[in-house]
Chains A and B, each alone.
Chain A
Amino acid sequence: QLQLQESGPGLVKPSGTLSLTCSVPGDSINSSRHYWDWIRQPPGKGLEWIGGIYYTGRTFYRPSLKSRVTISVDTSRNQFSLKLTSVTAADTAVYYCASRDIVVVAFDNWGRGTLVTVSS
Chain B
Amino acid sequence: QSALTQPPSASGSPGQSVTISCTGTSSDVGGYNYVSWYQQHPGKAPKLMIYEVSKRPSGVPDRFSGSKSGNTASLTVSGLQAEDEADYYCDSYAGSNNYVFGTGTKVTVL
The residues of A with any CB-CB pair to B shorter than 8 Å are 39, 46-49, 52, 60, 62-64, 96, 100-101, 104-108, 110-113
Contact between A46 and B48, CB atoms less than 8 A apart: no
Interface SS majority for chain A:
strand
Which residues of B (44-102) have their CB < 8 Å from a CB of A? Answer: 44-48, 51-52, 55, 57, 89, 91, 93, 97-102
Contact between B57 and A108, CB atoms less than 8 A apart: yes
Contact between A63 and B1, CB atoms less than 8 A apart: yes
Q: How far is the CA of A43 from the CA of B101 in the complex (A)?
A: 16
Known: A104-B51, A105-B52, A106-B91. A49 touches B45 (CB 8 A): no
Whether B24 sits at the interface, judged by CB under 8 Å, is no
Contact between B98 and A60, CB atoms less than 8 A apart: yes
Contacts of B97 in A (CB 8 A): 52, 60
Counting from the closest, the 3 A-B pairs by CB-CB distance are: A106-B51, A60-B97, A105-B34
Number of residues in B with C-beta < 8 Å to the partner?
Answer: 26
Contact between A107 and B36, CB atoms less than 8 A apart: yes
Contact between A107 and B1, CB atoms less than 8 A apart: no
Contact between A113 and B45, CB atoms less than 8 A apart: yes
Contact between A110 and B46, CB atoms less than 8 A apart: yes
Q: How far is the CA of A106 from the CA of B55 in the complex (A)?
A: 11
Q: How far is the CA of A55 from the CA of B83 in the complex (A)?
A: 36
Contact between B1 and A106, CB atoms less than 8 A apart: no
A104, closest chain B residue (CB): B51
